[in-house]
């Protein structure tokens, strides 16, 4: 059956229309603005991609089981604030917590990850055991976490972080940013989880047909709790890294990341109708979306208009994805 393996240019273009379009746009910008391809800019894009890729890996799990996760951005914001408040320079006079000592960076990472994983698990429990639609459950969580963070950080931006912490974001090995290496490692771990473990097989089965999976002996509820829990964990890591990269924490960090991640995952072929999606696709989606944003900046499109365009692309990406499945009916 060689026919099925043959490369079909027409179907390739129609399946990847948005990716191709965005890449074309990036190429045009790169030709007109040579500085776009400068080492500095590419490095900047790569670190942005790294953090967003980690977020999108969390969200793609929720999408594959026909869910969504709108709480991502605010959980990232909380993670960044916890990191920033506890990892300020010990000698800084105006510390957020005057009592705070010189804590180990990784101990704080662990603390953040525990908090955000618990938030993710709560999302999962509400969705799986109380049958609240993921859209509502995670929207509620989004608002709750924002409130908690407002109480915790008093809405103040927090800076003066200690260099051991910010080094994680600014450091390089052989000119490769640590952030990129961290994202690659996490990507590999998640690939293993998606393709090689029961966790992944169950996730795809639930997305493919939840009832059939249940009848086949899949514990659907526990699987969902795990998926949302791991998503929470990844948001925690992302929040931690975002604080390190920005040199501070703020209530507004991470805002809107969930929509960007949903768009990126969808552009990369994760279907909002469930059961479909590859990590390589998520990566492509995040990369393309981030390049597009940078290209808009280079084209001197004003920020308000950038926002309009990004929103449009998110909607178009989902519309194109849905069309693939509707047409098959």
Partner 1 sequence: MTKYQLEMDHVTKSFPGVKALDDVNLHVREGTVHALMGENGAGKSTLMKCLFGIYSMDSGTIVLEGNELHLKDSHDALEKGIAMIHQELQPIGEMTIAENIYLGNYPMTRKFGFKTIDQKKMNNDAAEILKSIRLDVKPTIKLKQLSVSQMQSVEIAKAISHHARIIIMDEPTSSLTQAEVSVLFDIIHQLKSQGVSIIYISHKMDEILKISDDITIMRDGKTVGTWPASQMTIDSLISNMVGRELTDLFPTREVTVSTDIALDVQNITSINPRSFRNITFELHKGEILGIGGLVGAQRTEMVEAIFGIRKIADGIIVKDGKILNINKPQDAIKNKIALLTEDRRATGILGVLSITDNVAIASINQYVDFIKINQKKVNKVVKESIDKLSIKAPSAETRIMSLSGGNQQKVLFSRWLANDPDVLILDEPTRGIDVGAKYEIYTIMNDLVAAGKSIIMISSEMSELIGMSDRIMVMCEGRQSGILDKKDATQESIMSLATKFM
Segment contacting partner 1 (CB under 8 A): 85-93, 153-161, 163-171, 204-212? 204-212
Can you tell me which of 155, 198, 311, 323 binds partner 1, judged by CB under 8 A? 198
Residues whose CB falls within 8 Å of the CB of residue 131, separated by 6 or more in sequence, listed in order: none
Q: How far is the CB of 191 from partner 1 (least distance, A)?
A: 12
Q: Is 204 a residue that touches partner 1 (CB under 8 A)?
A: yes
Q: Is 4 a residue that touches partner 1 (CB under 8 A)?
A: yes
Region 218-257 residues binding partner 1, contact defined as CB under 8 A? 218-219
Query: The tokens of 97 are what?
Result: 């917590």
Q: Is 14 a residue that touches partner 1 (CB under 8 A)?
A: no
Q: Return the bridge partners of 176, or none.
A: 173
Can you tell me which of 209, 246, 252, 297 binds partner 1, judged by CB under 8 A? 209
137 or 193: CB nearest partner 1: 193
Question: Environment class of residue 31 by beta-carbon count within 10 Å: exposed (0-12), middle (13-18) or buried (19+)?
Answer: exposed
24 or 212: CB nearest partner 1: 212
Q: How far is the CB of 199 from partner 1 (least distance, A)?
A: 8
Count, residues near partner 1 per rule CB under 8 A: 27
User: What DSSP string describes 56-75?
Assistant: HHHHHHHHHTT---TTHHHH
Q: How far is the CB of 208 from partner 1 (least distance, A)?
A: 3
189 or 308: CB nearest partner 1: 189
Report yes or no: 321 and 99 within 8 Å, Cβ to Cβ. no
Q: Give residue for tokens 């959980």.
A: 75
Segment contacting partner 1 (CB under 8 A): 105-113, 193-201, 230-238, 284-292? 193-201
Q: How far is the CB of 187 from partner 1 (least distance, A)?
A: 17
CA 291 vs. chain centroid, Å, equals 15
Region 127-186 residues binding partner 1, contact defined as CB under 8 A? none
Q: Is 113 a residue that touches partner 1 (CB under 8 A)?
A: no
Distance separating alpha carbons of residues 87 and 107, to the nearest angstrom: 10
Can you tell me which of 61, 269, 274, 285 binds partner 1, judged by CB under 8 A? 274
Q: Could you tell me how many residues make up the chain?
A: 329
Distance separating alpha carbons of residues 329 and 318, to the nearest angstrom: 18
Range list of β-strands (E), 98-182: 172-173, 176-177
Distance separating alpha carbons of residues 290 and 16, to the nearest angstrom: 17
Can you tell me which of 104, 216, 280, 307 binds partner 1, judged by CB under 8 A? 216
Report yes or no: 270 and 276 within 8 Å, Cβ to Cβ. yes
Q: How far is the CB of 3 from partner 1 (least distance, A)?
A: 7
Can you tell me which of 120, 275, 281, 285 binds partner 1, judged by CB under 8 A? 275
32 or 273: CB nearest partner 1: 273
Indicate the DSSP class of residue 192: H
Distance separating alpha carbons of residues 152 and 158, to the nearest angstrom: 12
SS3 243: helix
Residues whose CB falls within 8 Å of the CB of residue 318, separated by 6 or more in sequence, listed in order: 262, 263, 266, 272
Q: Is 205 a residue that touches partner 1 (CB under 8 A)?
A: yes
Distance separating alpha carbons of residues 244 and 10, to the nearest angstrom: 44
Can you tell me which of 140, 157, 208, 247 binds partner 1, judged by CB under 8 A? 208
Q: Is 3 a residue that touches partner 1 (CB under 8 A)?
A: yes
Indicate the DSSP class of residue 158: B
Can you tell me which of 37, 212, 309, 326 binds partner 1, judged by CB under 8 A? 212
Binding site for partner 1 (CB under 8 A): 1, 3-4, 192, 196-198, 201-202, 204-205, 207-209, 211-219, 271, 274-276
């Amino acid at each position: 059956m060689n026919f099925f393996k043959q490369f079909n240019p027409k179907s390739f273009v129609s399946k990847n229309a948005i990716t191709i379009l965005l890449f074309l746009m990036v190429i045009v910008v790169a030709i007109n603005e040579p500085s776009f391809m400068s080492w500095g800019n590419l490095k900047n894009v790569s670190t942005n991609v790294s953090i967003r890729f980690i977020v999108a890996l969390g969200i793609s799990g929720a999408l594959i089981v026909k869910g969504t996760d709108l709480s991502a951005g605010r959980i990232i914001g909380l993670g960044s604030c916890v990191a920033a408040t506890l990892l300020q320079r010990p000698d800084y006079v105006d510390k957020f917590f005057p009592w705070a000592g010189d804590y180990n960076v990784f101990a704080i990472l662990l603390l953040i990850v525990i908090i955000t994983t618990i938030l993710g698990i709560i999302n999962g429990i509400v969705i799986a055991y109380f049958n609240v639609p993921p859209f509502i459950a995670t929207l509620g969580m989004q608002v709750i976490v924002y409130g908690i963070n407002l109480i915790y950080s008093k809405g103040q931006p927090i800076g003066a972080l200690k260099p051991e912490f910010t080094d994680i974001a600014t450091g390089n090995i052989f000119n490769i940013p640590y952030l990129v290496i961290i994202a690659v490692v996490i990507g590999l771990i998640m690939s293993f989880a998606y393709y090689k473990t029961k966790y992944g097989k169950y996730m795809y089965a639930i997305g493919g047909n939840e009832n059939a999976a249940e009848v086949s002996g899949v514990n659907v509820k526990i699987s969902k709790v795990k998926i949302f829990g791991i998503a929470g964990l990844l948001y925690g890591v992302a929040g931690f890294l975002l604080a390190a990269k920005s040199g501070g924490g703020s209530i507004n960090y991470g805002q809107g990341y969930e929509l960007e991640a949903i768009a990126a995952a969808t552009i990369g072929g994760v279907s909002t109708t469930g059961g479909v999606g590859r990590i390589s696709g998520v990566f492509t989606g995040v990369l393309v979306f981030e390049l597009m944003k940078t290209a808009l900046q280079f084209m001197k499109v004003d920020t308000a208009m950038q926002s309009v365009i990004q929103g449009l692309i998110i909607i178009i990406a989902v519309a194109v994805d849905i069309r693939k499945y509707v047409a098959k009916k």
